Amino acid sequence: MSPTKFKLRKPLPTKEELNSLRKKCIDITVNAGGGHLGGAFSATEIIAVLYKNILKVNAKKPNWVERDRFIFSKGHSCLPVFVTLANLGFFPKKELELYCKPGGILPGHTTITIPGVEASTGSLGHGLSIGVGMAMAGKMDKKKWKVFVVVSDGDCEEGSTWEAIMTAGHRKLDNLVVVVDYNNLNSFEHVSETFSNFAPLKTKFESFGWEVLEIDGHNLNQIYTTLSKAPFKKNKPSVIVAKTIKGKGVSFMEDNAPWHYRVPNPEEYQKAMEELK
């Protein structure tokens, strides 16, 4: 897929921007004494492209009626979302220093009280259901905005997620776009070990009336061109199954279960920062 098929409003995120985003997430985790870096890093490219090149949002008017709605269902991996919202001006950057601290506005999960956040998430299985409701409302009101939802493979282990998937297909919600951050790693083990019949996701979504495309979730061109095609088919909700790597960008974090939630020690911090130069 070539990005020249679509007119870019802005250049795609650069490697330097992505590295800076990951480094800031590490700094926040160290400062707070906790954070979900593994899942944050698997979704970094997806979040960066969504906010820079796809979503119609306005930091000066967070509740702009015609905005696109974005729900980050894997809310525990919120750090790149918070950094991006701060960079865009939804709230002061100094709030990042108060992540998970008294007096700050940023808790450990995406929460609706934060400017730019559409839903409180992190308890897996809730985000897509909320997104389906928003998409139904948009259809009823004949609105042109879209609803984008990023879910994890962990979300796809929850029954409520599949109820939402069935409903979206039945309601023909072609204003709904879902990205599955498929890093194949839960808190303690690989998804394929938790559920041996988890894959293939593509045929499962198709059986419920969705149009499905599969991509490399770290390939910026693929992320952009695929999101730009939505809806993939009239009267069908769109889903992108994005193959990703948990902890992407830092060698010793990649596909390494303990980095689901962990703070780097001084030696690990130094090594991570060197790799992200």
pLDDT one-digit tens code per residue, 10-28:
899 999 999 999 999 999 9
What does the pLDDT look like over 213-227, one tens digit per residue? Answer: 999 999 999 999 999
Rounded Cα distance, 110 and 105, in Å = 10
Q: What domains are there in the chain, each with its CATH number?
A: 15-253+264-275 (3.40.50.970)
Side chain identity, residue 122: G
Cα distance between residue 19 and residue 195, in whole Å: 33
Q: What percent of the chain has pLDDT over 90?
A: 90
How many Å apart are CA 180 and CA 155, to the nearest integer?
Answer: 9
28-52 per-position pLDDT tens digit = 999 999 999 999 999 999 999 999 9
pLDDT of residue 48: 98
Is 85 a residue whose pLDDT tops 50? yes
Q: φ, ψ for residue 72 (rounded to 5)?
A: -100, 90
Provide the pLDDT confidence category of residue 5 given band limits of 50, 70 and 90: low
Tell me the three state secondary structure of residue 92: coil
Q: In what order do the strands lie in the sheet with 176-182?
A: 69-72, 147-152, 176-182, 238-243, 211-216
Q: Provide the whole-model pTM.
A: 0.95
**CA-CA distance, 27 to 52, in Å (whole number)?**
22
pLDDT in tens, 149-175: 999 999 999 999 999 999 999 999 999
Q: Are 41 and 276 in contact (CB under 8 A)?
A: no
